[in-house]
Amino acid sequence: MVDVSEKTPSDREAHARARVRLPVEAAALISDDDIQTKKGPVFATAIIAGVMAAKKTHELIPFCHPLGLDNCKVSIEMDGTDAVIDCRCKVHHKTGVEMEALTGASIAALTVYDMLKAVSQDIVIAETKLIAKSGGKQDFRRDE
């Protein structure tokens, strides 16, 4: 791990996004902003999985510091037939939360895939990327 013992804690935030391309037959199942399958509500389950994953990032990614997140929000919106997953994490700590946000978005995307694979396996997790981060040495904002 990187030694952060000399760093001063500060407010840090990160926003990551994953995009899941759904086939038309899966996207057509959306009603009331979610998809209901035999396993349950797809987006609601993916949101819970994303938050759980963000909180356990240090257990999944070697050398990540364990962080007690102050806040983590996962949201999912449709853009055509794409499910766009946003994960926003906040912490007051000595190290940033980019990996937590990226992990949350990634696991939420994998959960969407898992819950819809019985409908179609023509699902593509197209991209996962950091949108923005603040706090620490330098801020970052992706031009979209």
∠ CA 72-76-79, rounded to 5°: 145
What does each of the 144 residues of the chain score in pLDDT, given as a tens digit?
A: 899 988 989 999 999 999 999 999 999 888 778 888 889 999 999 999 999 999 999 999 999 999 999 999 999 999 999 999 999 999 999 999 999 999 999 999 999 999 999 999 999 999 999 999 999 889 999 997
Res 36: pLDDT: 86
Task: Report the pLDDT value the prediction gives residue 42, as an integer from 0 to 100.
Answer: 95
Alpha-carbon gap, residue 127 to 73, rounded angstroms = 19
* Element holding 107 (H helix, E strand): helix 98-116
Q: Which CATH superfamily is domain 10-136 in?
A: Molybdopterin cofactor biosynthesis C (MoaC) domain (3.30.70.640)
pLDDT, position 144: 75
Active site residues: 114
In whole angstroms, what is the distance from residue 58 CA to residue 87 CA?
A: 17
Question: Which ranges constitute the DSSP H helices of 24-90?
Answer: 24-27, 42-55, 57-60
pTM of the model: 0.95
Give me the count of residues in the chain. Answer: 144
Cα–Cα distance for residue pair 66/63, rounded to 1 Å = 9
